[in-house]
């Protein structure tokens, strides 16, 4: 059974400067809730209640968010405003939180390797919280992937079709179509030019990884942009054994970019946000 979910939250968030100069981008709110809380709620829904955060300098607000604020609790206890704390209280009641720091931003692969001490030798989920995934009234994306892991017992990456003019922003897979939205990965390239992309199937920020990935990352040299790329490690894993790619059910918003963030805000305000339920 998968119990843990890793959140690499150490990145600089340069695309949101100056907002992210002294505030983590993962704390930017979509309507009234920080991005990282949406991710944690999705993990808990999938049964992954041990939350492992790989943070960095300037990210203390994330640690504080997943803790009690005594002054605030005391101030609003018994008042009509208590309801505003209900969603974060639920998260704190159900989840446990562990943290470590990535001292140098050497890429997503490196961030995940930094989390090894929190994960140990077991399969785990990974959420990049700047990808907001929503599937109201049905299983969340991570829950769909955990069900598949229980069936296939190998690493799984979430994919979606993207227009070719945007493919250079993503890790891209090639694979054998197994039906039901599942592909067995045969190739994987990080941020290719459109003419070199093996397909239009882009990897987005949800993964289930088997723990052999840590040894593979240790052996993976820096790749694109001189960063240690998870994509490169996953290709090694795919060649040695099996990695599946899964076209999930639901919507995904790239909240690491300004247009995606605005689109998510409008969608949540119109379809998800309820003034009386927080
Ligand atoms: P991104 O490259 O999208 O995030 O990394 P970023 O670097 O924060 O954003 P920009 O491009 O400067 O605006 C994808 C995810 O991996 C994490 C980031 O926090 C983000 O969730 N990450 C990336 C790390 O934790 N450590 C790294 O060294 C790199």
- Report the CATH number that the domain containing residue 97 is assigned in CATH: 3.90.550.10
Asked if residue 63 is part of any domain, the answer here is yes
Pocket test for ligand 1, best of 5, 6, 7, 11 (most atoms within 8 A of CB): 11
Residue 78 maps to a domain: yes
What spacing in Å lies between the alpha carbon of 107 and ligand 1's midpoint? 7
Q: What is the pLDDT of residue 78?
A: 86
Specify if 20 maps to a domain: yes
Q: Quote the pLDDT of residue 278.
A: 64
Alpha-carbon span 28 to 33, nearest angstrom: 8
Residue 135, domain extent: 4-271
Q: Distance (Å, rounded) from C-alpha 3 to C-alpha 110?
A: 22
Domains contained in the chain, number:
1
Other CB atoms within a 10 A radius of the CB of residue 2 amount to: 20
Which ligand 1 atom sits closest to the C-alpha of 25?
Answer: 8
Nearest CA to 91 out of 134, 47, 49, 62 is that of 49
- Atom 9, ligand 1: residue with shortest CA distance: 13
Contact 256, 146 (CB under 8 A): no
In a domain, 277, yes or no: no
Instruction: Give the global pTM.
Output: 0.95
**How high is the pLDDT of residue 165?**
95
157-171 core/surface letters (b: 16 or more CB in 10 A; e: else): bbbbebeeeebeebb
Residue with tokens 């920080």: 34
**pLDDT for 77:** 85
pLDDT at 277: 64
Ligand 1, atom 16, lies closest to the CA of 108
**Contact predicate 256/18, CB 8 Å:** no
Q: Are 69 and 18 in contact (CB under 8 A)?
A: no
> Which residues of the chain carry a pLDDT beneath 70?
276-278
Which atom of ligand 1 is found nearest the CA of 128? 21
Q: Is 278 a member of any domain?
A: no
Q: What is the model's pLDDT at position 276?
A: 67
Q: What pLDDT is stored for residue 85 in this prediction?
A: 86
Residue 108, ligand 1, Cβ within 6 A: yes
* pLDDT confidence of residue 234: 97
Residue 121 lies inside a defined structural domain of this protein? yes
The pLDDT of residue 84 is 86
Query: DSSP 3-state assignment of 197?
Result: coil
12 lines ligand 1 (CB under 6 A): yes
């Amino acid at each position: 059974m998968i119990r843990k979910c890793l959140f690499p939250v150490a990145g600089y968030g340069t695309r949101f400067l100056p907002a992210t100069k002294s505030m983590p981008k993962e704390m930017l709110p979509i309507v009234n809730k920080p991005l990282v809380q949406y991710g944690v709620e999705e993990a808990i829904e999938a049964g992954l209640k041990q939350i492992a955060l790989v943070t960095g300098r300037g990210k203390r607000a994330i640690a504080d968010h997943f803790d009690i604020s005594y002054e605030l609790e005391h101030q609003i206890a018994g008042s009509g405003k208590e309801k505003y704390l209900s969603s974060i209280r639920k998260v704190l009641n159900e989840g446990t939180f562990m943290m470590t720091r990535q001292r140098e931003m050497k890429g997503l692969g490196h961030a995940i390797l930094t989390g090894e001490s929190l994960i140990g030798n077991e399969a785990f989920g990974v959420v990049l919280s700047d990808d907001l995934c929503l599937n109201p009234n049905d299983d969340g994306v991570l829950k769909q992937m955990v069900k598949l892991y229980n069936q296939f017992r190998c690493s799984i990456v979430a994919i979606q079709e993207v227009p070719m003019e945007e493919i250079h922003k993503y890790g891209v897979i090639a694979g054998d179509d197994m039906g039901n939205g599942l592909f067995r990965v045969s190739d994987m390239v990080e941020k290719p030019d459109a003419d070199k992309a093996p397909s239009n199937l882009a990897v987005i920020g949800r993964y289930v990884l088997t723990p052999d990935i840590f040894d593979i990352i240790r052996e993976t040299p820096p790749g694109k942009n001189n960063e240690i790329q998870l994509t490169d490690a996953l290709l090694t894993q795919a060649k040695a054994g099996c990695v599946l790619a899964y076209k999930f059910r639901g919507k995904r918003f790239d909240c690491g970019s300004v247009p995606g963030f605005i689109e998510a805000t409008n969608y949540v305000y119109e379809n998800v946000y309820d003034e009386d339920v927080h």
